[in-house]
Chains A and B, each alone.
Chain A
Amino acid sequence: MDSNFPSEKLEEICDDECQNKTRIFCQRCPSLVLSPKQAKLVKKEFFLPNMFQKNDHTPIEGVTLNDFWLVTNMMTFDNVGFSKAVDNIMYLICADCEMGPIGWHSIDDKKAYYIAVARVKHG
């Protein structure tokens, strides 16, 4: 599922303060990315390359996503991997199976790490 998140579903995953109610996992493996109440739901438009593109003969395809979990300190993550920076953006991946990008971080803003709501599992 690589689309934007239906808004009624958002209520199920965030509490009154817009923090994540549940734990956040990789979609592909049991790796824990974030513990409850560690991130804040924000609206932000950002283009992320597709996770399932395995063919390197075509240009990078992706989607613009709108719903992200915002984390203000990178050490808040339980498990996560950071890609090398491309145009000042580091892409976040699962630390275990390396599925990604599941989010992004701009090296110009040390206090913002974004996980795409549509690219992780809640529960």
Chain B
Amino acid sequence: MTPKTLVDKIWDLHVVEPGASDLLYIDLHLLHEVSSPQAFAGLREAGRTVRRPSHSVATTDHDVPTDGRELPADASAAQQLRVLADNCRDNDIELHQVGSPGQGIVHVIGPQMGLTRPGTTIVCGDSHTATHGAFGAIAFGIGTSEIEHVLATQTLRARRPLSMAVTVTGELGPGVTAKDLALGILAAGGTDAGTGTVIEFRGPAVRALSMEGRMTLCNMAVEMGARSGLVAPDETTFAYLEGRPRAPRGDLWDEAVAAWRTLRSDADAVFDRELVVDAGAVVQRVTWGTNPGQSVPVDGVVPDPAGIAHPGERAAAERALAYMDLRPGTAMRDIGVDVVFIGSCTNSRIEDLRAAAEVLRGRRVADGVRGLVVPGSMLVRQLAEQEGLDRVFTAAGFEWRMPGCSMCVGINGDTVGPGQRCASTSNRNFEGRQGPGARTHLVSPATAAATAVAGRFVTPADL
């Protein structure tokens, strides 16, 4: 038999009908309020129904207020939340909305419930569905027409992805996180290195990551241009899943684990693309530009576009510096921030909050800096409170918020002001992403916390 990659193995398990685009069975469909209303409306108008309501799970996250109010002040956002609730009720779909203990960012609740499982196909109208690949699932974002397609047929038409192996050798240094690794890979490979592929992250430094770290890494695979990222499941995966509310139990658990153990790329499988990264060379990073590939070490300087050979990339870097109001040669350590945001589906899990709290214990945010911690889900929030992390954050001068996407995308009212500079643990530093005119610098939770204390970009070791 020809050796196969893990992605091909999982793909083959789900092909309903082969073709130029395969018809692929979808095991889990996640929904949120922003990308789904037109899909449900399309079904309704055509008189169609949801084929497998039990395969869909919905939450509210993008629009929801994080200051404790139940409904957003914005009427259209409030309307969108109502529409999702109506659609879920009418179609018998499980919904975790604000006020319920299961609510949270869609990519945080799937794993925490034990719904995100190895070997499965998972889609959601959201590009960061890639996050779920951390469990060894094929998980990718889809558009609204495709959401309608999945609701009606429980399948999707999709081209078989190309494969890319990103092998991370060695060991990450002390204080260097999965976020730094993701930014490092992006800086090395660029924002379209993974186009057309699903990236399999492998190698000892990936094996050594916790599930939270793997989720951060797979989350950022989409910023590398890939459709998704994944990590072959192992004991770390099984330990995370065991006992979760929706994880299989008893004989079903044993049967599932036996199947999951077979999920790995064959030793001699050939990948379409390969990239090898030395973990030992990865350091704490911060972005300076307006795409996630534009980053430097925290102790580095703003690069000079004149040094970029490609004319298009050079012009883009010049545009980015103008938007970010930065001059080449400025030390990142000398750049002050106005806002620090700890949250988003990249870095809002319990481990992320622990890392930030550890830095903030006994310290205060610098004068004039606004700090926001937005846990990824109600469960993360509750866990953090049990551990007393909320008190660490508030004592340090951070706002302790309710779960949601919040300042990652800035449509719930939590925004960074025009011209303000934000150290953010999210995944996109695009122009205007956190609000019109907002300037975003992507960092890890620990770097974000240290930056809040210093009022400028530093690592915890600098404090």
Same complex origin of A and B: no
